[in-house]
Amino acid sequence: MAIGHNNPPGMIETASTTMQDISGWMAEHPAITEDSAKDAKVFLDRGKLALKDLDDERDGKVRPLNEKVKEVNGLYKAPRIQLETVLSGLSDRLGAFLKEERDKRENAAREAARIAEEAEQRARDAERIEREAIESANAGELGVDIASHVVEADNAFRDFEKADRALAIALKETKVKVGGGFTRAISLRQKETIIVRDAVVAIGQIGLTEDIKEAIIKSARAFRKATGDLPEGVEATFTEEI
């Protein structure tokens, strides 16, 4: 303690001293007897009062800070809610645009896939006709125009390659993004929502974990408050304590 410091000890110091005194008394009295019961009660009351005074002193220091925090939060709450509401509306509109544009591009991709499939079939047919013409000419058949079939097959294959490239581009473009602004581009993304269909089946597989047990107890207390009784499957036990 600093020289000249005459302030009474704070509750942190008092609580520590009280703890040490109680611990010392308990070390000398491993069991409570009729002769020591009243002394034990004195130490019990002293400890409880020290805890209360400790909490009161903490609350006296923290309460003004909490009030200030509450005041500051109040100043920012209204404009935040207003801005969030407007942003939510804008986000919904952007989401609707992204979904509409995605659907449009997916339809375009399906059409490109159809065109590519048809172009591939025409290329295969032209290749087959070319091969048959060459086989006929090699077999000695007269008047077979191999050159025209070769040109037709080449053109069909180039058309297929073009359609296939268009399909690849269309598939890539189905991922719609909106750029600009100050952050990375936005796009649609999957958002997971877990729904409890059958709590009994779920708990049967997961097991009665501590988190689930605490949630059930909390809900059971709320149920008892509303109805006067605990729900079936939940019971209360009582123990004696001072």
Asked whether 187 and 97 are in contact (CB, 8 A), the reply is: no
pLDDT by residue (tens digit) across 92-104?
A: 999 999 999 999 9
Asked whether 176 and 104 are in contact (CB, 8 A), the reply is: no
Helix (H) or strand (E) holding 177: strand 177-178
Give a yes or no: residue 145 inside a domain. Answer: yes
Backbone angles phi, psi at 126, to 5 degrees: -65, -40
Give a yes or no: residue 74 inside a domain. Answer: yes
The range of the structural domain enclosing residue 105 comes to 12-22+34-177
Q: Comparing C-alpha atoms, which of 63, 164, 174, 76 is closest to residue 118?
A: 164
Cα–Cα distance, 69 to 32 (Å, whole number): 48
Give a yes or no: residue 94 inside a domain. Answer: yes
Give a yes or no: residue 141 inside a domain. Answer: yes
Give a yes or no: residue 211 inside a domain. Answer: no
pLDDT by residue (tens digit) across 121-142?
A: 999 999 999 999 999 989 888 8
Give a yes or no: residue 233 inside a domain. Answer: no
Average pLDDT over residues 159-177: 95
**Residues 6 or more apart from 118 whose CB is under 8 A from it?**
163
Average pLDDT over residues 141-164: 92
Residue 76's alpha-carbon distances to 30, 68, 79, 103, in angstroms, are 57, 13, 6, 40
Q: Comparing C-alpha atoms, which of 84, 90, 164 is closest to residue 120?
A: 164
Q: What pLDDT score does 141 carry?
A: 83
Q: Number of structural domains, the chain?
A: 1
Give a yes or no: residue 154 inside a domain. Answer: yes
Q: What pLDDT score does 2 carry?
A: 46
Give a yes or no: residue 165 inside a domain. Answer: yes
- Percentage of the chain exceeding pLDDT 90: 90
